[in-house]
Amino acid sequence: MWIFSIPFPNRLLYVSSKSLLSRVGSQVACYHLTAPLWHSEDSSSIKPEVRRVGRLSDAWQHRERSVQSKEPKNEIPILQKPSQRMRGDRRVSSELRKLCLDDFHSDRERPQRQKSTMNSKSEDYEIVFGISPCILALTQGRRRAKKLFVKEGEASHRDSVIRVCEEAHKRGVQVHRVSKRDLDKMSSGRVHQGVCLQASTLSYLTETKESAPRGNLSTLPLWLVLEKIQDPMNLGAVLRSAYFLGVDRVVSSLRDSCPLSPVVSKASSGALEVMEVYGYENLEEMLRLKVKQGWEVVGTVGAEVEESPVPVSKCSDFKMTKPTLLLMGGEGEGLSKELLSVCQTLLTIPAGRELFPGVESLNVSVAAGILLHSLLFSRRSSR
């Protein structure tokens, strides 16, 4: 028997404990006796409590069963058999259910299969992330899709994620369910929205005689020419605006320009997967050739431009009267002297207030959106 005395404010607690083991035949029982004695006038009136736990073997078996029942089960509802699915999952197509059952036969096999998919990388492939980039990468056919990685859990029940899985299944692309940590590693910590696609890379297209401009030839074409855009977020935002507003072609310098990476695709909300971006080693040579063909080269400068031999006007005053190339320079430097020498007109965006030094210019993607809207509006109004 053990007796402990624990001091408390204004009272004293005594606890006595005694464990007895008795063996009768093959039966082993465990008894636990406790006698909590709080400080009172008549502590002897409190009798110890005797509680029978049961046989040792039964107690341990009961404990193991209770612990196992409390452990969280790593269930993936979308991968369950159709008879086990919840009513709220009826919107999932039969093709997707068959795909999930084929890819994952049991929870026991899943970790090993995931490990093999994570290691299957190639230099010719990259990870496209985000709902819109993945859907357009699958449907447009410009990339060779290899594997689709989907976040496990309730997020896989979203309609947008299910649509990506179904598009992948239609094209024979393997679908694998992985953890959020794996998707974070694939996308380098960027917002992946629960899906990542392993697909071939995209690169700048080269001009050929067969690569005629797409679109309605009855209207005046407008090309957007980018020089040394190095921030992929800016490039993606520019492509998104160009696609939305109706630019006929996007052209970029190959030197000192960021590649057409998955970051650009995500920043463009998938517009990169739709628009064809052409690259040139020598933009000046291409521009001079276009001038000979009757195109007008329009450059862009800041609001506080120095004296220039080329006329400068507000973007709202410019009217498109012939095929036009709008030139946008890179972050910080703007257009180079070589390209400025080819420009026939320079456009500027007037500020709406007196500006403080350091904030007297716009981000290149914002400026591109304003200028493109102004030029394309003038093209529509001149019809």
Q: pLDDT value at position 124?
A: 86
Per-residue pLDDT averaged across 13-40, rounded?
A: 41
pLDDT reading at 378 higher than 70: yes
Higher pLDDT, 66 or 312: 312
Q: pLDDT value at position 47?
A: 44
**Residue for token pair 């026939």:** 344
Q: Report the share of the chain in percent with pLDDT over 70.
A: 63
For the chain, the average pLDDT equals: 75
* Structure tokens that stand for 253 in this block: 């310098």
As a whole number of angstroms, the distance between CA 178 and CA 182 comes to 6
Q: Are 312 and 346 in contact (CB under 8 A)?
A: yes
Per-residue confidence band for 67, with pLDDT thresholds at 50, 70 and 90: very low
Q: pLDDT value at position 209?
A: 57
Q: pLDDT value at position 157?
A: 79
pLDDT reading at 58 higher than 60: no
Per-residue pLDDT averaged across 92-121, rounded?
A: 43
pLDDT reading at 224 higher than 50: yes
Nearest to 323 by CA among 351, 363, 290: 290
Distances, alpha carbon 317 to alpha carbons 71, 222, 332, 361, in Å: 70, 17, 26, 20
Q: pLDDT value at position 360?
A: 76
Per-residue confidence band for 185, with pLDDT thresholds at 50, 70 and 90: very high
Per-residue pLDDT averaged across 240-247, rounded?
A: 96
pLDDT reading at 227 higher than 90: yes
Q: pLDDT value at position 98?
A: 45
Per-residue confidence band for 354, with pLDDT thresholds at 50, 70 and 90: confident
Among 11-25, 133-147, 218-232, 277-291, the minimum mean pLDDT is found in 11-25
pLDDT reading at 39 higher than 50: no
Model confidence, pTM: 0.67
pLDDT reading at 190 higher than 60: yes
Q: Regarding the domain with residue range 222-381, which homologous superfamily does it belong to in the CATH classification?
A: SPOUT methyltransferase, trefoil knot domain (3.40.1280.10)
Per-residue pLDDT averaged across 113-119, rounded?
A: 43
Per-residue confidence band for 134, with pLDDT thresholds at 50, 70 and 90: very high
Nearest to 214 by CA among 265, 266, 277, 272: 277
Nearest to 361 by CA among 374, 346, 350: 350
Which of the following CATH numbers is that of domain 77-200: 3.40.1360.10, 1.10.10.60, 3.30.1330.30, 3.90.76.10?
A: 3.30.1330.30
Higher pLDDT, 376 or 78: 376
Higher pLDDT, 201 or 302: 201
Q: pLDDT value at position 83?
A: 40
Per-residue pLDDT averaged across 326-340, rounded?
A: 91
